[in-house]
Structure 1
Amino acid sequence: MTRFTTSWHPTPVGDVLAAFADDALIAVSLEHGARDEAIARISGVLGEAPEHDDTAAAELGTQLDEYFAGSRRTFDLQLDWRLANGFTRQALEAIREIPYGETASYGEVAALAGSPRAARAVGAACRTTPFSLVVPVHRVVRADGSIGEYGGHPEVKHALLALEGVVSE
C-alpha cells in the first residue's frame, strides 16, 4: 500500500507544498493561499488525506535552497508520474530538457514532444503540472517571447526567469 505524505518548504517566491508517494515526489506546488485549502486540494487528487511529515521533503528542500542560491540548475529527485499521463507527460519530459537560463516557446516544446501542432496542449500541461519548479515550466514562453502566466502569478515566473538570467530584474 502506498504511503502518502506532505511537507512544506519556504522559498523566496512562496511556500512549496510537496507530496510524496512512498519515497517518490508525486506533486510539488507553489502555494499562495491558505495551507488547509492546499492540503484539501492534494487530498482530493490523491484520493486520501496524506500524513504530514516534516522530514519527507528534506532532499527537495536542500535542492530548492540550492536552486534559489544559484548553485543548482537541475533537480535530481525520484518522480512518481502517476498524475501526468499521455501528452501531458510527454510535454513535461520535453520541458525538462530546456536548459537553465534558456526558454522555449509552447510550439517548440510541442515539436520536442512529438506533436508540433499541440502548442495549446503544452500550455495545458504547464498549467496542470504536478511538478512546479522541479519541471521548469517557467521556461516555456509565448511565441512572441513574452513570458505569459504562471499559475496566475506572472510575477513568480518573472522572478524565476530573472534568477536564471533570462530577464532583467
Structure 2
Amino acid sequence: MLRQTLPVLILLLFTLNFTAVAQKSEQLKDERNSVKAEIEKTATEIKSTAKQKKTTYQQFLDLKKNESSKQEMVKTLESEIEQIDGRIERQNDVVNSLAADLGLMKATYAELLRKAYREQQSNQKFLFLFSALDFNDFVRRWHFCNNIIILKSDKLI
C-alpha cells in the first residue's frame, strides 16, 4: 500500500508545491506591480520636486536680483539726496549773500534819498532867496532862512 500511496503522495506534494509556487508567483507579481507603481509614484514625485526646486531656486534668484535692484535704487536715491543737499547749501549761501547785498543797497539808497532831500531843500532855499523882488527883500529872506536853520539846530521847530 505504501507503494500505491507513495505516488499519490508525491503527486499531491508536487501539486501543492506547484500551487504554492503559483501563489508565490502571483504574490511576487503583485509585489512587483506594487513596487513598480511605487517607483513610478516616486519618479513622479521626484519630477514634481525637481520642478518645485527649480521654481523655488528661480524665485530665490528673482528675490536676490530684486534685492540688489532695491539696494542700487537706495544708493541712487542717497546720491540724489547728497546732490540736492549741496544745491540747497549753495542756494542758502546765495540767499545770504543777496541779503547782505540788499542791506548794503538799502543803506546806500537811504543815503541817496537823504542827499536828494538836502539838495532839494538847498535848491528851494536858493529859489526862495533868488525870487526876491529886490536886494533888501533878498537880505530879509536870507536872515529868515538862517533863523530857521538856527531854530532847527536848537530843535525848537
Structure (1 or 2) with the greater strand fraction: 1
TM-score calculated relative to the size of structure 2: 0.16
Q: Max radius of gyration: which structure?
A: 2
TM-score calculated relative to the size of structure 1: 0.15
Choose between structure 1 and 2 for higher RCO, CA contacts under 8 A separated by at least 6 residues: 1
Structure (1 or 2) with the greater helix fraction: 2
